[in-house]
Amino acid sequence: EPEVTQTPSHQVTQMGQEVILRCVPISNHLYFYWYRQILGQKVEFLVSFYNNEISEKSEIFDDQFSVERPDGSNVTLKIRSTKLEDSAMYFCASSEQVSNQPQHFGDGTRLSIL
């Protein structure tokens, strides 16, 4: 069964450093999403991305975050200057259509900011 893959599985970074999280969505999916889950909290929406543009973003997704599709297969989430509170699991998801279609998630990247 096709799946969403995320790399790395665990990233440890010093506070203030830039970090790039990578995702390969399911191949025929056109809509891409990033979520995060801080330890002990709910899964929270960050951003949705379609046709190389952000279609929706949450309050969490401030200027330090950016999302790109640098080639035909990868989708990346960049955090420019990491803070301690950015420590979380970051999940990538993709879907075929935008509405009334399930989003399929990768296994996540655990980001630890020291």
The C-alpha angle 89, 39, 3, rounded to 5 degrees, equals 30
What is the pattern of x (binds other proteins, CB under 8 A) and - over residues 79-98?
------------x-x-x--x
Cα–Cα distance measured from residue 24 to residue 75, given in angstroms and rounded to the nearest whole number: 6
Q: Buried (b) or exposed (e) across 9-30, using 16+ Cβ within 10 A?
A: eebebeeeeebebbbbbbeebe
Choices 12-20, 43-51, 63-71, 72-80; region in contact with other proteins by CB under 8 A = 43-51
Could you say which of 87, 106, 111, 113 contacts other proteins (CB under 8 A)? 106
Residues that bind other proteins (CB under 8 A): 4, 6, 31, 33, 35, 42-45, 48, 55-56, 58, 91, 93, 95, 98-100, 102-108
